Structure 1
Amino acid sequence: MAGKRTLNAGNLETLGAAALSELLMELSSGNAVVQRRLRLALAVAEGASEAAQEVRKRLAAIARSTTYVDSRKRKALVAELEAQRQAISGPIAKADPPLAFDLLVRFLQLADGVIDRCSDSTGTVIGVFRQAVAELGPIATAAEVESETLAEQVADLLADDGYGQFDQLIPALAETLGEQGLRLLGRSCLDRGARDGNAALLQIAECSGDVEAYLAQFNAGQLSWPNTAADVARHLLAAGRPEQALAVLDGAAKGANTWHSPDWDDARIAAMEALGRGAEAQQLRWHSFSKTLSIPHLREYLKRLEAFEDVEAEERAFQLAEGHALPLLALQFLVAWPALPRAARYVIEHRAEWDGEAYEICSPAAERLSADQPLAATVLLRAMVVFALSIGRAKRYRYAAEHLRTCEQLSARIDEWQGVESHESFTGRLREAFATKWSFWQLLER
């Protein structure tokens, strides 16, 4: 149970309105962001029209601003944008949907200009506008916006989609636009030359369920790319046209053989199954697994085998994985399957080959193996330690020290080292080779 001094809404309410008001005035003094939030809250309390007036003022100020927002100031900008978005989609939309719709469109019109002048490496700024896109559909429906008006406004926004903030605008408004609105939007996009007109027309065709219009957006060159062919084939399969889907995939077969595409494989497997060609689908599942060691493909392959055949096939899969050209991929497969005793044996047999830079594979594998396979886990942990020290990556020293301490703990459980260097010998050699890495040794001894 939270204490009486824990900062939460319930405890703060006990202070009373007067005390909270004084605190807010004190905290907001000299803080323009907080002051604007408080003014907006007061306006919302007065009603939708007063809140809308306050929002318009802030949107106009944001539109006029030319100040560059770096990463340090980004949080304040996001808070400001969120406050306006929430006021529009919350109390204003509840009281007056048409007013909220106009304001939200105005808010979205700011997107390009705002993103132009800020550092958005985290994607939080564009995320605010994408959330507003998702909210526009329900508000437009509640506001009963005419399809022609809505189509024009959507086309205007798409013409200024410089950062992909409106990627989901058409799907978000498809139901509200309806068949007539989508048709008007398509015509408007063509007339206005929207920045990514082809993508807009593609989405319109998808939302309309117009397969022919969808196919018309692709030329032969585009369909020769395996991933593009896979997307189109999935669309055709959903429309109940598996023969056409398979023909599209066949047109990209050369590219799929040159640049392996799991998406192309999956779409072709689905097409084969839809056409009742299960044996060919099975062959492709195994072929795809042999290249990528894809667990979903292998599980689907085994699931379709007769009783007891799956045991032999699983053994063949293990042998194929152990002979794969990419040891890291094989390790990842054996650990994730899981086949931990085989993974441990594989790690020890290939102990000189592990790349400690691949910590996203080695670290979880070592963790999984540490319970019952301490020697294999030690081999992987050592690889990451040596890598961190070899390249002098100080940021990795904390993890490397933790890994080496884990190796020491694991060594107490290793009875047979199987030709692998003992912990004492390895640590002594490490100290000799990297004696100058003082910060690492200090971390280890701490």
Structure 2
Amino acid sequence: MNARELEAQDSKQQSWRKNNDNPSLQEVHKSVPVKQTGSFFRRLLAFIGPGYLVAVGYMDPGNWATSIAGGASYGYTLLSVILISNLMAILLQSLAAKLGIVSGRDLAQACRDHFSKPVSVALWVLCELAIVACDLAEVIGSAIALNLLFNIPLIYGVCITAFDVLLILLLQNKGFRYIESFVIALIATITVCFGVEIILSKPEIGGVLTGFLPSSEIVYNPDMLYIALGILGATVMPHNLYLHSSIVQTRNYDDTSEGKRSAIKYATIDSTVALMLALFVNAAILILSAAVFHSSGHKNVAEIQDAYHLLDPLVGSGAAAILFGIALLASGQNSTLTGTLAGQIVMEGFLNIRIKPWLRRLITRMIAIIPAVIVTLMYGEKGTGDLLILSQVILSLQLSFAVVPLVMFTSDKKKMGEFVNKPWIKWLAWFVTALIVVLNAYLLWSTLF
């Protein structure tokens, strides 16, 4: 090792204070082999998976509520918000993957390493609130799907979701690839269902294309802006940044500059393609709502249950509502997997506390089920719909506290070395961060006052 390499190694050790941390999700760390030779496609295949686990968070039941409300109330106008949010997500998720691959830390560990203990604990509390809010959306979404498809009362559906943790444990014990395969299969189910729904709803093509162009009306209409911020919170998920920075480390890539560079490239392709699928699903929900509800004068449809019951008579097909319910159930189950994994990662990363995975997941699920049970008992369907919207607002408010450290770390040459963000990526990332902070500050102000 020459003097320059020794100097670089010393600099890296000084920039990261804690070098002997165990990785998060230690039971699956470096468990997926990666081919070092072969065709581009064969090497890419080894990295396909983490991006789809991340994409799940961008099409969870919380997205459905905000997209249905946006499409029914304002037609195709808010499609531009979904597109912009998705592009922001692609950028931020690529940075999260790079942080995990280069530093060998997930975002939670990097925060604990860099910030003081009080700050780390505060960030952990905020992140846990976001995960509970996300889990709340999954619990309610799955319960609504069970109610719509099988007429199971909401309160029983909420309780049934507690057993999702058993499925997660079963799959993880078989290997991380089983979890990824299960998630990809459910995403394919959701995509096919909405592909058929789009065909059945016959949207106005010109309106759809125009909707992807940003409109100043969004900024000047407070009600529309509130839903737009809900879409932002439901699309760019803060816990996904922690999740992605950890699960990319399940790949057993070479711990060399070339190995890391290759891993970053393939991980970025994986997440970008997966998030484009998420864009299709989120846009499809809003397009379906606009084409079916807004165009027929049903502009107050904001709840998933109402959308389900109105689909068949308005679309004129008995399959429309069933496909909608199946996709919703698949979405809720998918999000359960990633939300509980994220919960384990942030607890291990921020606090360096390691408990049994089944106990961690059970705790997360119970914290989400308790408010869902209370609201369901007291307010019924209307209450669960409001709770679903509120969960997305909470996610949006927490987003800044995950994005700022991510951009800060990946733009720090002492921490990232040769893999530091290029100037244009750095400034673009900070612009996105500033936009998120300003919009969320406005959301908080408008909500309180």
TM bracket (short chain): under 0.3
TM-score, with structure 1 as normaliser: 0.17
Higher helix proportion (structure 1 or 2)? 2
Q: TM-score, normalised by structure 2?
A: 0.17
The one of the two structures with greater contact order (alpha-carbon pairs below 8 A, sep at least 6) is 2
Radius of gyration: which is bigger? 1
